[in-house]
Structure 1
Amino acid sequence: MSAATATAISPSTSLRNSLNSYPNWMKWSSPCQRTTFFVPRAAASPDTGKGNKKRKPKVKKPSSPTPVTTTTESMSEEEQPQPQQQQQQQVSLSLDDVNPVGLGRKSRQIFDDVWRKFSGLGQISRTTRADDREALDALLIREGPMCEFAIPGAQNTTVLVVGATSRIGRIVVRKLMLRGYTVKALVRNADQDVLDMLPRSVEIVIGDVGDPSSLQAAVEGCNKIIYCATARSTITGDLYRVDHQGVSNLTKALQDYNNKLAQLRAGKSSKSKLLITKFKSEDSLHGWEVRQGTYFQDVIASKYDGGMDAKFEYTETGQAVFSGYVFTRGGYVELSKKLSLPLGSTLDRYEGLVLSVGGNGRSYVVILEAGPSADTTQSKLYFARINTKIGFCRVRVPFSSFRPVKPDDPPLDPFLVHTLTIRFEPRRQRPVEGSAGMKQDPRSFKLILEYIKALPTGQETDFILVSCTGLGVEPNRREQVLKAKRAGEDSLRRSGLGYTIIRPGPLMEEPGGQRALIFDQGNRISQGISCADVADICVKALHDSTARNKSFDVCHEYVAEQGRELYELVAHLPDKANNYLTPALSVLEKNT
């Protein structure tokens, strides 16, 4: 402090020479004589004397004429001179501004307040006051010190959080905002209680996952979706609407939006599928060849030859139908065509096929022939079995699921694929009931073809679905809950979008990052997991290539049960300083 400041405090020259013991003046009024004293109050000093003993502050006696000014007034306190009070307030403010003890205390108070807000992000069970929410919202959207939490590419990514007011959704929203994402929240109604649960900077969209028309505005401008919604009850209709139909409606809405963007870019979007063939007219059937054969060439097979027949035609209803029957032992019929891709397009830039088909629920074998186009004798065959449902469905066939017919052949190289074949064989057919409740003959089939497309290779996931393992659900309701959850997962896999399906154990209200996590695909987990850890996995999976097209269970670390010690369950400790998700998911099977 300068000498001028010391002079303003007291005219005493002894006080100017003592820089470590500036007196702080306080006002005291005598209740009897209305006498006002200005008594010097010693300031706290960290200095210590010899023997580590604290120096006692010096207090001047009131009788001393130098530091004390005594004024006897007969007027009331309201009639005291105002300039003198203002001068004393200014003196007090100037002392607080330069007092190192006070400055340190204020800085620690500000830092503790900031740290309390951040540490409470994962603790949603704590009751949040209105002023705390406003301060937290301002802190989350402010740049500067928060840059260490930002993720590259987050500023150009808009994430739609479905179920933003759920136990996991509330944490997901705040984690996304902390990392710089643009967040949209889909809610059913705009009640004040719902709005208070979300930060003010979140764009709220009113809609219902069971109503497809209300989802178009929700996906507008969104790049990715995190689905955290759960049914409010275990009623079958509520489960079907949220867990199954809701997922299906959102995948279709996101696909329609991506297709709209692709049309604006003249089909040059990286998410555009490659159309291999579309059966929209009778001319689209040209080039497809119907063939038949048998796996056995012995005399016994000829004795049990019941005949087989198949045809591929364009019906009056505008459908391309491949139908027939196979009564021969070891026989099969197939539909084959040599591919003719657009100029400059090759299948090595795609990760699989998607078929939009309908029929009576038979299983088929998709065969790809790969090799030099000039010499088909060197071609190799690769197959993958697909299952259809009664009615129409979309079937996803990744290239990684194709296996060579001859075990010694190398893995499939999509760049060399030149022929596509769809084969029906009576063996390994599941029993399917007809419309009248009677079982159909597994040797007959009917396949309606709409289109065949190639799925683009993506580096990141498009849709993150938070499902469940069934643990923690009432035993009498577990089957119907899991049935609805699995139906929603299947609709997401068949959609063609890049997906990540997370099945956490029973959710717990506790801070995240405190215990190691176990990722598994064998339905073997038995422990719970905190909501904050599940939310952190959702956020990290947005830009992790190893999370694309994978389904997995996750829970807290535990000791394997008796008889399951042979299974290796690797635990990964969540830490913001490292990406634990990549090594955890790199060993898991894809397209599951």
Structure 2
Amino acid sequence: MEAFVQSVNGFGGGVAAKPSSCSRRAPLRMARVREDVEDKNPLDRVGDFVGAFQRLLGVGRQVDDSLLYLGEEGSEPLFEEQPPVVLVVGATGEVGRVIVRKLLLRGYQVRVLVRNLFTETLDLLGTGCSYVMGDITDPYALMEAVSGVDKVVCSVKARSESEVREVELDGLKKLVRAFHDVRHADYGRTEATKVTLFKFNREKDFRRWRSPGGSEEDDELVRKPARVDFRMNVRNNAVFTGQVFDTYTGHAELICDLKKLNMRGFSGLVVRCLGDGKQYRMVFRTGPGDKNGVIYEAEFATVSGKWSTIRLPLVSFKPRSLSGSSVPRELEELDRSDVRQIKIEYRKPLSNPERDPGFFSLTLDYMKAYRTQNEADFVLVSCSKVTEAVNHRKQGREEDIGEDTAMKYMGEESLRNSGISYCIVRSGQFTDQTGGRKALVLEQNTELGDKHISKSDLAEVCVSALQDPRARNVTFDAYEAQYAPTALSPSKDIGSMLEGLKPNS
């Protein structure tokens, strides 16, 4: 590998930066065009100075750890916090434009770094995003561009061979450094944040839940509805208890109906409970899912007679069609921004259910939503030629890999060594085909040959990697298979393919 990285004169090491962590609670600032900075109100400048001094002392703005309610008393819980802000560098490129569109459609706040604010640039990206003028070689523009953003997607590409080192290596290093430094200055070393959804010892939270006395689903299939009791015990904990009688289709439910719960930007649930050693299910119903009869489920095990803290990542919630039909592709992923119902469910075990008397008891203390840095904060679009060059070097095949490929590899290394959580997507050659026409393949360290991927599918992979913990610190190749998905050989969802990849590869 030494011969590989030394194939270009003047190779410098990666960014020597320490890992940082980021509290997502900090207020997000809108991007401004650099020429407008001088127009800032002097009082705002004083406020910025005080805020920076507070952050230096570790006395930043605190946010109450309770659920935020909007509107009238008893209205539905909603998070006031804004969706994640994503900076796209290379936004006017072939893939960058598609990434911007997909991010906007999914509700992200999008910021773009552009060289100019000419009409053709604004027409290219539209009015849905905010703009910072500058380029990847300008450290001052980069500092402004990354200020207040949560994540970065970089799909930048040099416009000529003479710019390869300046843009794809030196420019990428400057971007990584700016993102690292601004995040550390703004957020410090705050660990993962949590927001309390329900404290079951609080009367108002307890009353939000109901037990319908059996199940709201498949009642016509259940010969004898379950007996369900939901009450507060003497220690002010909520107890979900009862008995399921029907052997195969009976189940008991504890339901909380919501108008619209926005969990975008959160990674999962934490449930503190005292169990009976049995399996339970957490079920989400969403607005889009309800229209198509699709729910999202995740199982969790309890320990008999012992309090446990259960973590349920949102990516572990799997879709299920209530009609038994296949789930539409657009509904395979949980819509975190539109949760309409949370349900805790008990069913008899699949193994020998006839031997189980159906008794259950689950004591609940609290339920929280958490946000961690388990996800990639920086997604880099690279090239599959890098994989081929790395494999050839491992095989002892000495050949000229080309300056472009060497610069991309060294840019990857600078990101890997930065301490920022990352995802590096090495793409096949771009095509203009419609996305989803062919099955996608995500693999590592394979001999690719002549592989292709549509710009739409590549953008989909990049956007999916932003909020999937399985994409954290992973490098992989993305390309399309030679066949179209069929009923016998369907296309795997991106999350399932990420599951099989090894981190830090």
Same fold (TM over 0.5): no
Q: TM-score, normalised by structure 1?
A: 0.37
Larger Rg: 1
Q: TM-score, normalised by structure 2?
A: 0.44
